[in-house]
Amino acid sequence: MNSDYLQYLKKLLIYSAIIAIVSFVLAFFLPDEYVSPSMPFLLLFFIAVSLLTHYFVLKTVAKRTSQFVNFFMISIFVKLILYIAIIVIYGLTNTADLIPFVITFFIFYLLYTLFELVAVLKLQKNLKN
């Protein structure tokens, strides 16, 4: 499990570095009203959530592979509730930045969900072999 997690961490950091570079280049060229000042924090947030989720997925697989699908579905549900709560709380406290925040959040959500899905599919493929 440890080597799998370290390999995931390495890939996630490289992926996140690419996203960060693209995000900051876009932020440089886009007008200020389209860029959320919370973008770097969102990036760190999605890295942390991805690492935490993958850690628990690996622990679940190590214990019992039959619980893998159940845990994965529950983790998706919990993350969605967490994401909605963050958007609502941020929207209530920072109404001026709501639209850029939601757009940035949604883009990061799609990018990191895609990354996590590919990693889990590879993990599931390795389990079958």
Sorted by where each begins, the domain ranges of the chain are 2-128
User: What's the pLDDT at 124?
Assistant: 79
Q: How many CB atoms sit inside 10 A of residue 116's CB?
A: 22
User: What's the pLDDT at 30?
Assistant: 86
pLDDT, block means (10 residues), the chain with 129 residues? 84 96 92 88 95 89 75 89 95 91 95 92 77
Q: Rounded to an integer, what distance in angstroms lies between the CA atom of residue 42 and that of residue 101? A: 9
Q: Rounded to an integer, what distance in angstroms lies between the CA atom of residue 68 and that of residue 60? A: 6
Q: Rounded to an integer, what distance in angstroms lies between the CA atom of residue 7 and that of residue 29? A: 34
